[in-house]
Chain A
Amino acid sequence: MAIENTSDVIPSPVIEGDSSGKKSFRLPDFSRIGSFFKKISPDKKIPLILASVLIFVVIILVILTKFSKIEKPKPLPLVPTEIPTREPTIASASAYASSSAILKIEKDLEDLDLELKKANFRESSLLPPNIDLDVKFEVTD
């Protein structure tokens, strides 16, 4: 049986005026809900109940998730700290700083240093080749 008007079945709060003219609030008559279910055909009852249960569960879940949110600790803002640096000291140069003899010694030393660093005593190109010297046959004539 189709429900034509919801006001017929859902009880609404009734506001009535008493003899003194004051209006009083009266709770709806819930006993009428039972009659509403009775009016619904049995083949539509089950899907309706299921849908109601589902909606109820979803609402409960939404409420739970909203309240159970754990607040993550916010990372502290990075404030650049100043690293103490030593003031560059301008070394005073000696009388030999621009001496051609000293500069020549320095240049010779640097060249020699490069040569020493280049020296390689494990050059793979000069190691004996990897060859198969053990020639054997399991089958012989």
Chain B
Amino acid sequence: MRSRLIAARLVLCLFFVYVFFLCYRPVIFAQQESPTAIPSINLIASPNEFDFEKAYRDYVQVYNSYVQAHKEYLLAKNQYEAYKTLTAKTIALEQTIRMLQSRDEVIAAFLITLRAKLAEETNIASSKLNVLYLLLDEEITWYRQHRETLTSAGTIPDLIKISNLAQSRYNRTESYIYQSLLEMFLYKEDIFQDLVARQIEVIDDKIIEIRNRADKDTSTIERWLLEAKNRKSRSEEKFSELKSYTITEKLKSSEKNHSFNGSVYVIEQGHQYLKETLGALIEIVKEIKRGD
């Protein structure tokens, strides 16, 4: 009977210890060098170590952590503004640091993802792209360093000052993001333009061959080819319009988002003409296959 009582007490004690460890959360102090609660996967690896898929997965994970941290920051901020107690203030400081660190990680993770995509899609070593790689790397380094400085803030005004540095820096970062995206899209479109131009040449040669053999009437397909070439010219016009657009300057302005969307719209228009060109070429081939 006595041994049963001791066993029951032991089980109860173990249960309480288990519950305690379940509920325990380490307190993160602002002065602490590296808070353990914040994941820092993207800040350990160098940008070159990632392929796009992995980089994107990590970015999504970091972004989700940021969303959670931001919610907690808003809650702590509201409580501090409402009650103005010392406890609320300390919690607000801690949660703000956590959110800002998470924010820096999101930006760095996004830049790494973009860099990986740029490398994967373009796969060339043009001077323009090399410049972009350098700019993106510089930004990644800046946000890593900025994340570390956040822990040195002892008060909320200090923290806001450090946060404002990132705010003004992000203006520049965003412009590099848009530049990188546009360069990537233009590069892709350049490849498509070349491929379509090559197909036009092949079909042109084939039509000349058929005309010389005189075993099929080529008047219709020649007219269609002319139409296809016209559409291709329109597509080229769109791209030359975009290249002479001084995109880089516009992307540095305050209306960079608007400018980026406008440029993407022009690319899409050019791409549409390219698709129409290809549609016409497919029809020409079908007509060649058809008897008179």
A134 to B188, CA, bound (A): 36
- In the complex, whether B268 has a CB less than 8 A from a CB of chain A is yes
B177 to chain A, nearest CB (A): 5
Residues of A within 8 A of B210 (CB): 96
Using Cβ atoms and an 8 Å threshold, which residues of chain A touch B174? 128
- Residue of A whose beta carbon sits closest to that of B291: A92
Number of A-B contacts (CB under 8 A): 123
Q: Are A119 and B106 in contact (CB under 8 A)?
A: no
B91-147 residues at the A interface, CB under 8 angstroms: 92, 96, 99-100, 103, 106-107, 110, 113-114, 117
Query: Does A101 touch B at the CB level, under 8 Å?
Result: yes
Compute how far the CA of A93 lies from the CA of B85 in the bound complex, rounded to whole angstroms.
88
Contact A94 B66 (CB under 8 A): no
Question: Would you call A136 and B103 a contact (CB within 8 A)?
Answer: no
Asked if A138 lies at the interface with its beta carbon under 8 angstroms from chain B, I say: yes
* Given A95-B216, A109-B199, A139-B80, A126:B268 Cβ within 8 A: no
Q: Judging by beta carbons under 8 Å apart, are A137 and B92 in contact? A: yes
Residue of B nearest to A96 (CB): B288
Is A84 an interface residue when CB atoms closer than 8 A count as contact? no
Within 8 A of B (CB), among A107-140: 108-110, 112-113, 115-117, 119, 121-122, 125-126, 128-129, 131-140
User: Per a CB cutoff under 8 Å, which of A122, A128, A133 touches B167?
Assistant: A133
Secondary structure call for the B interface: helix
Please tell me if the beta carbons of B199 and A112 are within 8 angstroms of each other in the complex: yes
- Contact at B215–A95, with CB atoms within 8 Å? yes
Interface string of A78-105 (1 = CB under 8 A from B): 0000000000000111111100011001
Q: Which residues of B contact A96 (CB under 8 A)?
A: 210, 216, 288-289
CB distance from A113 to the nearest CB of B (A): 5
Q: Which of B96, B271, B281, B285 contacts A121 (CB 8 A)?
A: B271
Interface residues of B in 136-184 (CB under 8 A from A): 155-157, 159-160, 163-164, 166-167, 170, 174, 177, 181
> Would you call the interface of chain A mostly helix, strand, loop, or mixed?
loop
Give the size category of B's interface with A. Answer: 35 or more
Query: Are the C-beta atoms of B290 and A125 separated by less than 8 Å?
Result: no
Distance in angstroms from B104 CB to nearest chain A CB is 10
Instruction: Name the one of A109, A116, A141 contacting B285, with C-beta atoms under 8 angstroms.
Output: A109
Residues of A within 8 A of B196 (CB): 112
- The docked-state distance in angstroms from the alpha carbon of A136 to that of B13 is 46
Interface contact B206-A121, CB-CB below 8 Å? no
Given contacts A125-B56, A128-B174, contact A139 B167 (CB under 8 A): no
Tell me if B199 and A108 are in contact (CB < 8 A): yes
Tell yes or no: B274 within 8 A of A by CB.
yes
* Sampled A-B contacts (26; CB under 8 Å): A92-B290, A92-B292, A93-B291, A94-B289, A95-B216, A96-B216, A97-B289, A102-B206, A105-B199, A105-B206, A109-B199, A109-B282, A109-B285, A110-B282, A116-B192, A119-B188, A121-B267, A121-B271, A122-B264, A125-B56, A129-B63, A129-B66, A129-B110, A132-B103, A133-B167, A139-B81
12 more A-B residue pairs beyond the given contacts A93-B289, A116-B274, A141-B155, with a C-beta to C-beta distance below 8 A: A93-B291, A96-B210, A97-B290, A102-B285, A102-B288, A121-B268, A125-B56, A135-B96, A135-B163, A135-B164, A135-B167, A141-B157
10 tightest CB-CB pairs across the interface, nearest first?
A92-B291, A97-B289, A135-B163, A94-B291, A133-B167, A106-B285, A138-B81, A109-B282, A116-B275, A96-B288
